[in-house]
Structure 1
C-alpha cells in the first residue's frame, strides 16, 4: 500500500504546476494547481489517457487547440491518447484538479508549443489526422 495527501503535492514549479501524489506501477495520480494567470503547457500523450477532476476554482481547458471548455469544481473530463490539452487560469482564484494518467509511462508526454490565439500546430497528433 502507498499513501499520499492532496495538500502535500510537490508542485513542479514550486507553488504551481503538476504535482504527483502516486507514481506507477499502473497509474499516475496527481494534482495540478494554477494560480490566476498561470497555465499548464499544451501537450498530449501517445498511449496514455488522462482524466481531470476539478477540486476547486475555475480554469479554461483547450482540447486540440480548437475546443474550449470552462472547468469548474466537480467537473470531470477525460482526454484520450493523442488529444492535446492545455489549461489556463483566467479567473481571480486558485484552480486545483486531480489528474489520473493510465497506463503508467513517465516518458509518454509530447509538448506542443501553443497558446490561445495561435494557429493549430502542425503536424497534428495522430488523433487529428
Structure 2
C-alpha cells in the first residue's frame, strides 16, 4: 500500500454519545488513532479498558478528564495518558467545541467496560 494523507475530510467517520464525532485516522488491529469532536456540555460515560492504553491530546478547547475520581484539566497542546484498568471519563465543560486526538493501543473498541454509578 502506498502512503496517503489522512484527515477528517477522508477518514472513516462515526458518531457517539450526544452529538459527538469521531474519525479513524489510523485503524489497524494493533493501533487506533482517532480525532474526536465534543460539543460544549458533552461527555462520555465513565468506563475502563481491560487491555487498551490510551493517550488523549487536546488540539482545541479544554478537556476535563476524570481518572480514578481525580479531575484534571488538559489544555490545547497538552495530553494525558490513561492506563489499562483506570476508570476514566472525558468531559467538555468549556464554552467551545473540544477537538482531541485519542491514541489507543491495542484498539479500545470492544475493550470497554462501563462503570456502574
- Alignment TM class, shorter chain as reference: 0.7 to 0.9
Instruction: Please give the alpha-carbon distance, in whole angstroms, between the structure 1 residues aligned to 2:83 and 2:111.
Output: 13
Indicate the residue corresponding to 2:53 in structure 1: 49
Whichever structure has more helix as a proportion of its residues is: 1
Whichever structure has more strand as a proportion of its residues is: 2
Instruction: Please give the alpha-carbon distance, in whole angstroms, between the structure 2 residues aligned to 1:25 and 1:98.
Output: 18
TM-score between both structures, scaled by the size of structure 1: 0.76
CA-atom RMSD, angstroms?
2.2
Indicate the residue corresponding to 1:69 in structure 2: 72
Runs of 4 or more above 3 Å deviation: 6-9
User: Which structure 1 segments of 5+ residues have no match?
Assistant: 115-129
What is the CA deviation profile of residues 26-71 of structure 1, one whole-angstrom value per residue up to 9, with x for unaligned ones?
101101211111112211111110011111001211001x111111
TM-score between both structures, scaled by the size of structure 2: 0.83
User: Out of 84, 93, 97, which is 1:94 matched to?
Assistant: 97
Aligned positions of 1:20-31 closer than 5 A: 20-31=24-35
Instruction: Please give the alpha-carbon distance, in whole angstroms, between the structure 1 residues aligned to 2:100 and 2:108.
Output: 20
